[in-house]
């Protein structure tokens, strides 16, 4: 007989484990803030099921790298315990334990690959970031026949499918929900969390640390106004230069904070793009144009400066992680304050709709970006042109 000792949970982790293991609910929707010990909780709960009795278990993460990371953590945990894991396949991310239980890790990126499996226990990690169709079309079916317990655990991402399932507790006898904030981990000094409060945008802190379902939090440009505006007074331009499969985008604001023009080009010679951008700039009474510069931008900046010499001032805008954060956040605040309007463009509207952020809890850094497979070139050109407008109007916004 083999004895396995799992971790020692803190009181709030134990409260969740006790409910999962002692109460009759099938679906546990666990909404948890960063640094609570979410992954540790989920991993140890899965291992408890595995060693309790012979069973088939699955762990699903939003992307492959996350699934592979947990797989490797489990392998390392038993590296010095001969006979616990009797078989493992690093290609399929599958392992078999000494009592016959199996555990396989999946990515929800290609959720059709999970179709047809049947499991006793299922953990969906960062469930709010998994495509809703992965749950409704594939994952839920894997635990319909012999499924005993399902753990849907995540930090929130707006009021999406994770939020809707979380609300079923109390109205559906199969569902039990929990919400725990980062402050609910007694092993963390609350001053550390307080520091994050003062260094993060309020909306992001509420979602990431307080586990609040912030309405539209994935939509940074919520309740935006899209309309056709006319040039009024002086105008200000911004250019985001595309690389590889990205677009080069020209955005223009008028003198009262209305975006009056936006256009994009790609898959053309640089000389053609520079000419098209210059011709459009000449149509407006533009005082200054900000051009993104970095590795490739320096050369194109020189071409644009030469093309527009004597017409308007062309200035460089160096894109760094900090400068990008600043220009994005000031546009977010201006939109929240209804002090900016966006040009009525279907593709720009889609970019603004999808534009989101990635949060690194270790560095406490926010990175603004488009989701994988989507573009943010129009959003960035808009941010650069709005920076140009603010710079010359003498205004500034800070997201707090």
Give pLDDT, residue 362. 65
Give pLDDT, residue 285. 84
Query: For the whole model, what pTM was predicted?
Result: 0.68
Give pLDDT, residue 377. 95
Give pLDDT, residue 374. 83
Give pLDDT, residue 54. 96
Assign domain 11-208 to a CATH class: alpha beta
Q: How many H helices and E strands in the chain?
A: 12, 17
Domain 226-393 coded CATH 3.30.420.240: yes
* Same topology between domain 11-208 and domain 226-393: no
Within 10 Å of residue 301's Cβ, how many Cβ atoms?
22
How far apart, in whole angstroms, are the C-alpha atoms of residue 71 and residue 106? Answer: 10
Does residue 44 contact residue 19 with C-beta atoms inside 8 Å?
A: no
User: Is the Cα torsion angle 226, 232, 233, 236 positive or negative in sign?
Assistant: positive
End-to-end CA, the chain: 57
Give pLDDT, residue 216. 56
Segments making up each domain of the chain, as ranges: 11-208, 226-393
335-386 pLDDT tens trace: 888 999 999 999 999 999 888 887 776 666 788 888 777 899 999 999 999 9
Q: pLDDT averaged over consecutive 10-residue blocks of the chain (400 residues)?
A: 83 97 97 93 97 96 93 93 92 96 95 95 95 96 95 92 95 97 94 82 84 74 91 92 88 96 93 93 92 79 92 92 90 89 96 83 76 88 96 62
């Amino acid at each position: 007989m083999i004895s396995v000792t799992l971790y020692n949970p803190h009181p709030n982790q134990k409260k969740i484990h006790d409910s999962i293991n002692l109460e009759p609910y099938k679906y546990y929707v666990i909404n948890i803030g960063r640094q609570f010990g979410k992954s540790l909780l989920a991993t140890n709960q899965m291992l408890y099921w595995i060693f309790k009795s012979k069973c088939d278990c699955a762990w699903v993460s939003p992307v492959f790298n996350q699934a592979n990371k947990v797989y490797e953590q489990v392998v390392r945990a038993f590296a010095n315990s001969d006979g616990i894991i009797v078989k493992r396949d690093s290609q399929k991310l599958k392992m078999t334990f000494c009592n016959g239980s199996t555990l396989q890790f999946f990515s929800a990126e290609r959720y059709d690959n999970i179709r047809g499996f049947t499991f006793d226990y299922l953990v969906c990690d960062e469930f709010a970031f998994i495509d809703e169709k992965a749950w409704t079309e594939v994952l839920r079916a894997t635990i319909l026949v012999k499924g005993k317990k399902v753990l849907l655990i995540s930090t929130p991402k707006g009021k999406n499918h994770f939020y809707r399932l979380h609300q079923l507790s109390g109205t559906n006898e199969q569902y039990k929900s929990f919400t725990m904030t980062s402050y609910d981990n007694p092993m963390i000094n609350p001053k550390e969390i307080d520091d994050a409060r003062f260094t993060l945008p309020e909306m992001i802190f509420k979602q990431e640390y307080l586990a609040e379902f912030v309405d539209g939090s994935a939509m940074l440009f919520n309740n935006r106004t899209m309309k056709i505006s006319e040039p009024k007074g002086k105008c200000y331009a911004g250019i985001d230069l595309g690389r590889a499969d990205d677009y080069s985008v020209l955005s223009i604001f008028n003198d009262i904070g209305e975006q009056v023009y936006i256009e994009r080009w790609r898959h053309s010679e640089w000389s053609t793009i520079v000419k098209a951008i210059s011709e459009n700039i000449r149509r407006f009474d533009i005082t200054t144009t900000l051009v993104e510069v970095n590795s490739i931008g320096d050369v194109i900046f020189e071409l644009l400066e030469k093309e527009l010499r004597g017409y308007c001032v062309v200035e460089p805008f160096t894109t760094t992680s900090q400068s990008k954060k600043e220009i994005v956040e000031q546009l977010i605040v201006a939109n929240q304050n209804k002090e900016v309007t966006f040009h009525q463009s279907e593709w720009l509207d889609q970019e603004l709709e999808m534009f989101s952020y990635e949060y690194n809890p270790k560095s406490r850094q926010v990175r603004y970006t488009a989701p994988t497979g989507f573009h943010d070139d129009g959003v960035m050109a808009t941010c650069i042109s709005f920076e140009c407008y603010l710079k010359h109007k003498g205004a500034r916004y800070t997201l707090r």
